[in-house]
């Protein structure tokens, strides 16, 4: 069975044709529970997200800040497994018809088996993977299997990336390019900053693949700012914080839905 890279491409192209950036939400699988996590992903999509990244909880993250680390810890203590991540993708995609990616560090895939992971993600209806710690020069095996199964390979670029490095990364990736707006880990911030706009400009000079910006966006005004220069706006910690701060799971899920609706206005210039 083929994955949904084409659905991802079409979704990003449709947002562009509407003259707006896409809204991409991030939520970890298994948080607050596996079932609760699935409902949260569906709520983000129902609220207005175009795409969701489902995080594969990891005990030793390099990109995730304290908010997502807290949620990952809850999921890991709850016994979340890769099978639960695949179930999250399957049920959320089946319920909404929207593209779902997995964001994961390389070690779990390496241990699980690249062929097994890509085949199962495609079978679940997944659109691809974001791989923040897989170096492009070591990615040939992954890309071979991802291409075979119709999955996007999304790499992360940073403000420190030199132009030649950007060209190398964008030539190998597909779906979209994840532009980290600043050096550091995920988390909400007061401003996203000029670094992000410069990184998008430099990245676009190397590729026609959409460039989506993450790290720091937490409200509609920031989403509108980033939507002014990027093809997509990625929001993670703000969604997770809604869940963590809620008095119960149901309230958290409604908080995710409400935030998605607010951010959707932002990317449409209606904030």
Mention every residue, 6+ apart, whose C-beta is less than 8 A from residue 258: 47, 242
Residue from 39, 53, 72, 225 carrying the catalytic annotation = 53
Q: Please tell me the pTM assigned to this model.
A: 0.94
Q: Specify the pLDDT at position 60.
A: 74
Is the dihedral angle over the CA atoms 232, 238, 239, 240 positive or is it negative?
Answer: positive
Count of CB atoms situated within 10 Å of the CB of 62:
9
**Dist CA 144 CA 41 (whole Å):** 29
3-class DSSP string for 55-123: ECCCCCCCCCCHHHHHHHHHHHHCCCCHHHHHHHHHHHHHHHCCCEEEECCHHHHHHHCHHHHHHHHHH
**Dist CA 210 CA 174 (whole Å):** 9
Residue from 10, 39, 50, 64 carrying the catalytic annotation = 64
| CA-to-CA separations, 200 to 157, 218, 228, 267, in angstroms, rounded | 9, 19, 11, 16
53 labelled catalytic = yes
Q: Specify the pLDDT at position 140.
A: 97
Mention every residue, 6+ apart, whose C-beta is less than 8 A from residue 230: 21, 179, 196, 200, 211, 212, 213
Q: Is residue 22 within 8 Å of 209, Cβ to Cβ?
A: no
64 labelled catalytic = yes
Using only C-alpha atoms, the chain has a radius of gyration, in whole angstroms, of 17
Q: What does DSSP assign to residue 30?
A: T
The encoded tokens of residue 84 equal: 């639960």
**Dist CA 267 CA 223 (whole Å):** 6
* pLDDT tens across the length of the chain (271 residues): 688 999 999 999 999 999 999 999 999 999 999 999 999 999 999 999 999 999 999 887 666 678 888 899 989 899 999 999 999 999 999 999 999 999 999 999 999 999 999 999 999 999 999 999 999 999 999 999 999 999 999 999 999 899 999 999 999 999 999 998 765 444 444 555 678 899 999 999 999 999 999 877 889 999 999 999 999 999 999 999 999 999 999 999 999 999 999 999 999 987 6
**Dist CA 66 CA 243 (whole Å):** 14
- Count Cβ atoms within 10 A of the Cβ of residue 134 and give its class: 0-12 exposed, 13-18 middle, 19 or more buried: buried
């Amino acid at each position: 069975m083929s994955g949904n890279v084409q659905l991802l491409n079409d979704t990003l192209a449709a947002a562009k044709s509407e003259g707006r950036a896409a809204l991409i939400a991030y939520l970890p699988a298994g948080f607050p529970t596996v079932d609760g996590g699935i409902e949260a992903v569906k709520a983000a999509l129902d609220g207005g997200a175009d795409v969701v990244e489902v995080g594969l909880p990891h005990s030793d993250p390099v990109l995730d800040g304290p908010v997502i680390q807290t949620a990952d810890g809850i999921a890991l203590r709850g016994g979340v497994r890769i099978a639960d991540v695949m179930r999250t993708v399957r049920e959320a995609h089946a319920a909404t018809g929207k593209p779902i990616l997995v964001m994961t560090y390389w070690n779990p895939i390496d241990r699980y088996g690249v062929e097994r992971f890509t085949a199962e993600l495609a079978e679940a209806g997944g659109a691809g993977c974001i791989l923040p710690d897989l170096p492009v020069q070591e990615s040939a095996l992954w890309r071979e299997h991802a291409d075979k199964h119709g999955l996007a390979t999304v790499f992360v670029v940073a403000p420190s990336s030199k132009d030649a490095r950007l060209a190398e990364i964008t030539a190998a990736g597909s779906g979209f390019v994840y532009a980290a707006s600043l050096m550091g880990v995920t988390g909400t911030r007061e401003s996203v900053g000029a670094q992000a706009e410069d990184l998008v400009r430099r990245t676009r000079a190397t590729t026609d693949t959409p460039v989506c910006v993450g790290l720091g966006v937490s409200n509609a005004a920031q989403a509108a700012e980033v939507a002014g220069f990027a093809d997509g706006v990625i929001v993670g910690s703000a969604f997770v914080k809604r869940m963590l701060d809620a008095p119960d799971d149901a309230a958290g899920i409604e908080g995710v839905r409400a935030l998605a609706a607010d951010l959707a206005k932002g990317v449409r210039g209606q904030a």
